[in-house]
Structure 1
Amino acid sequence: MKIHVLAQKTGLTPPTIRYYEKEGLLDKRHVERMDNNYRNYTEEAVEHLRLIKKVQAVGFTLGDIKAIMKEEGGDKPELSRVVELLREKMKDLDCRKKELEQAQELLARMIANKLALLEKKETKT
């Protein structure tokens, strides 16, 4: 598929897709060059780019993603480093989850207080 179709399917812009390719986030499984030098992207590229967007949304940098992809075929010390990075991200997500739960509890109390005030005003009138 052409880059504009890939952009529509992933919600990314063509320059972003080209940048990811330049940075090595898309490889021969995802894109091939035609004789006219046009890029032809595979369906696998769609899923791969969606995955990149998801992991970025939870705090991974492009550098983290590149390191993880690079180390998939690596030796034991490299893989240990990736495992540690993934564990750190899990801890970060746990902290963010707790913070969001606390914020949600606060909002629920605020709503309850405002509803109580509304109810008082309605009973007075």
Structure 2
Amino acid sequence: MKISEVAKMVDLPISTIRYYEKIGIITNEYIRREKNNYREYAIEVTHYLEVVKKCLAVGFSINDLKAMISRNGMSKDEQTLILKEKISEIENVQKKLEDSKKNLYEILELDITCENGFGKY
């Protein structure tokens, strides 16, 4: 597959796919060079990039992904641990957001006005 076909299938800009190649997110196992030096992508790269997109969407960083890729495989237990750690991070952020929301509601209940200065009754 050509890069433009991959880009359309996974809904990513060509520049992003090239960037992922440059930094090692897309590994050589998914790319081969034709005689004219054009890249030819394996069909499996589309599934792989969907996984990358989902990992980024749930909060993994590019560096997290690079670290996981550089391990060149991991056990199911290691994978489960990494995912559970990310779930825990998300739960901590959710708790902080809920606390912030609670605090804002408490401020609203105080019926503070700003006509006499911020935070004065």
* TM-score normalized with structure 1 length: 0.65
- Does 1:71 find its partner at 2:68? no
Question: How is 1:45-124 mapped onto 2 (pairs within 5 angstroms)?
Answer: 45-73=45-73, 85-96=82-93
Counterpart residue identity of residue 49, structure 1: L
Residue 32 of structure 1 aligns to a residue whose secondary structure is strand
Using the TM superposition, give the Cα deviation of residue 87 of structure 1 relative to its aligned residue in structure 2, in angstroms: 3.6
- Once the two structures are superposed, residues 39-64 of structure 1 have per-residue CA deviations (whole angstroms, 9 ceiling, x without a partner) of 01111100111111100000001100
Of Structure 1 and Structure 2, which has the larger fraction of its residues in helix?
Answer: 1
Matches within 5 A, 1:12-27: 12-27=12-27
User: After superposition, where does 1:30-41 map in structure 2 within 5 Å?
Assistant: 30-41=30-41
State whether residues 29 and 44 of structure 1, in contact with CA within 8 Å, keep that contact through their aligned partners in structure 2: no
Q: How many residue pairs are counted as aligned between the two chains?
A: 100
The offset of 1:11, in angstroms, is 0.7
Q: TM-score, normalised by structure 2?
A: 0.67
1:29, CA displacement in angstroms? 2.2
How far, CA to CA, are the matches of 1:4 and 1:98 in structure 2?
42
For the aligned residues, what is the CA RMSD?
A: 2.9
Amino acid at match of 1:91: S
TM-superposition CA deviations, 1:5-59 (whole Å, max 9, x none)? 1000011111110010111111222111111110011111001111111000000
- Paired AA for residue 2 in structure 1: K
CA distance in 2, matches of 1:7, 1:54: 16
Identity in percent? 37
Aligned partner letter, 1:36: N
